[in-house]
Amino acid sequence: MTLDHVGIAVKDLEEARQTYLTLGFEVGPVEELPERKLRIAMVRLGESNLELLCPTDPDSPVGKFLAKNGPGIQHLCYRVDNIDKKIEELRAAGVRLIDEKARPGAHGTRVAFVHPASVGGVLTEFCEHARA
Ligand code: CO
């Protein structure tokens, strides 16, 4: 498994993009994820990325995170070859899942979240990238 990305909750996506551009990173374009009530932008680091997450609705998971904690690291995501198999393994191991089935993530990925209660307080995501 590889660390795919670190999800960072931000209040202002343009300001956050500018911050990382100023730090010298390569920052991708804004992507709209209406089904997750998010606008996101990826900061490219090579194998791993930062995922800047800006909620479009205060009632969404990231919106609630921002209200409670303010901006900052929101989740870690690990890349796997087969998300369906991973979900089955996690379920069999008694891990508390937020997503019982994989759902669409950003740019063609399929993702599933594990409840932070099962991972020492860390909201944890697994993702499978579309095969080329
Ligand atoms: Co993510």
3 state DSSP class of 31: strand
Residues with beta carbon < 5 A to ion ligand 1? 7, 51, 77, 125
Q: Ligand 1: distance of its center to the CA of 112 in Å?
A: 9
**Distance in Å from the first CA to the final CA of the chain:** 19
pTM of the model: 0.92
In sequence order, which residues have a C-beta less than 8 Å from that of residue 61 and are 6 or more positions away? Answer: none
Taking only the tens place, the pLDDT of each residue in 101-128 is: 999 887 789 999 999 999 999 999 999 9
pLDDT band at 132 (very low <50, low <70, confident <90, very high): low
Using one digit for the tens of pLDDT, what is the confidence trace for 88-108? 999 999 999 999 999 988 778
The CATH number corresponding to 2-128 among 3.40.1160.10, 3.40.50.1970, 3.10.180.10, 3.30.70.360 equals 3.10.180.10
- Residue among 37, 12, 34, 16 at smallest CA distance from 25: 16
* Residues 13-51 pLDDT 10s: 999 999 999 999 999 999 998 988 999 999 999 889 999
Which of these, 79, 72, 65, lies nearest to 110 by C-alpha position? 79
